Amino acid sequence: MDKTFTCTQLIQEKLEALKPNTHNTVNSLLDELALELAAKVDAKIENGETLGILEGIPFGIKDVYMLQGTYTTASSDLLKHYKSAYTATAIQKLLDAGAIPVVKENCDSFGHGSSSENTIFGAVKNALNPDLVGGGSSGGSAVNVALDYTVFSIGGDTGGSIRQPAGYNGVYGLKPTYGRVSRYGLMAYASSTDCVGPIAKSIEDVRIVLNVMSGKDIKDQTTYESKVISEAHLLNTEAVKTVGYFKNFIESEAIDDQIKSDFLATIENIKAKGITVKPLDFFDANTLVSTYYTLAMAETASNLSRLDGTNYGNRIEGENLKETYMVTRSENFSEETKRRIVGGNQVLSQGFSDEIYLKGLNLRDQIIANFEDDFTKVDIIVSPVTPSTPPKIGDSLKDPMAMYLSDAYTVGFSLGELPTLTVPQGTATGLQITAAKNNDELVLKFANFLKDTI
């Protein structure tokens, strides 16, 4: 350690870079907390104490995670004054490893969106072109990493909300296997697909952060013990012999010509390395998007029913209790959130649940079975992250259906609970690498292989 700068200087530098908020990535700066923690790190170094694996590393937190004593707004009017009473398990593990949170990051309100425009803090601007959206819902997190405002950020991925903005901003973004990282302290969108994951500029950073956050948590019954992924293991890329891709993703009329040709060129590069590539059959994009949104809207309608101004949020008084509930939710939820709550209550209502919701559950089972069959034939599945490049700011708000369809290539892997990583290679919006459940290590291995291949 050459001690050319202090931890306090590093944190100060990141806070100064974030302060102008040129890309609308900042919901709140954690300057007091960050500088206090930095001073402790400097004291540790001065005293020759043992340092944690992430000691002094500045990171960002999507504003849907609890961090005790900080504002946790979910980028919404309803919670704009809400302060966390406790800290999310994944964030606590990062704090215990010495990492320093510097910012709560802008996102689509309650995770509802694919562009980070559904927010009270202004649309997040793309790191590569500020006229374009930053992607969503973890847009602020991806942009901060891309611009080096944070070393890594913690996003949340329900149907692609880490992977898509990572692709739009040219960085790595991992949705781990469902249950690998505790969801305790993450505001629930759709509980059956919500995943906590890192966005970073290198595979090694993703590996370290994933290891720190992983593990069983008694506060989240879906979690499980997982093996630590070692750096040495990622260097052995010979485990991947066969790679698959979904034909209908590439043959779809929705895909941009450039993304299609770049993806096919990537497939040829993989073949040239002696790896067998197999085309696979999968559900069409409309079926995937319909299944995902049917289930996600149903779950978010249920999860957000607690937000009525009684225990949480910005209460607006009406003439009676019922009217208070109505006006509080009407005035404080975004148009997109209201659209999803209404849609969710519709598919759960009597007369519709059998016809729509149960059909969605059945299709999800078929999707999972399809994946299980695929992974008897191939080790890895590669796919584009998105069918098209980022839209201009404002366009997605005019056409919600187009926004939903932009998730066509990400939602299937969420329904399958599979580990999926966006890498900033292969197409203009990156490439997704997916493996069977609990095979997060294989995903990172193949990413390491691709880094030097394409």
Concerning whether 161 is annotated as a catalytic residue, the answer is yes
Alpha-carbon 313 to chain mean position: 24
Within a 10 A sphere around the Cβ of 278, how many other Cβ atoms?
13
List 76, 109, 137, 396, catalytic entry: 137
How far is C-alpha 304 from the geometric centre of its chain's CA atoms? 19
Least Cα distance to 65 among 187, 202, 232, 247 occurs for 187
Please state the length of the chain: 454
| CA–CA separation, 15 and 76 (whole Å) | 23
Does the annotation mark 137 as catalytic? Answer: yes
Which residues neighbour 161 within 8 Å (Cβ) at sequence distance 6 or greater?
A: 107, 108, 111, 114, 136, 137, 138, 155
DSSP letter (8 states) at residue 121: T
Rounded to a whole number of angstroms, the CA Rg of the chain reads 21
Angle formed by the axes of helices 358-377 and 285-303, to 10°?
130
Q: Report how far residue 198's alpha carbon sits from residue 379's, in angstroms, rounded to the nearest whole number.
A: 23
Structure tokens at 206: 């993703």
> Would you say 436 and 377 are in contact if contact means Cβ atoms under 8 Å apart?
no
406 is catalytic: no
H-helix segments, 69-202: 89-96, 139-146, 163-169
Tokens of 159: 């149907």
d(CA 141, CA 165): 8
Asked if 385 and 175 touch (Cβ cutoff 8 Å), the reply is no
Catalytic residue among 75, 109, 161, 214: 161
What is the bridge-based pairing of β-strands 100-105 and 26-29? antiparallel
Between CA 281 and CA 344 the distance in angstroms is: 30
Pairwise CA distance, residues 205 & 186, whole Å: 22
Residue 22 Cα to chain centre, angstroms: 22
Catalytic residue numbers read: 62, 137, 161
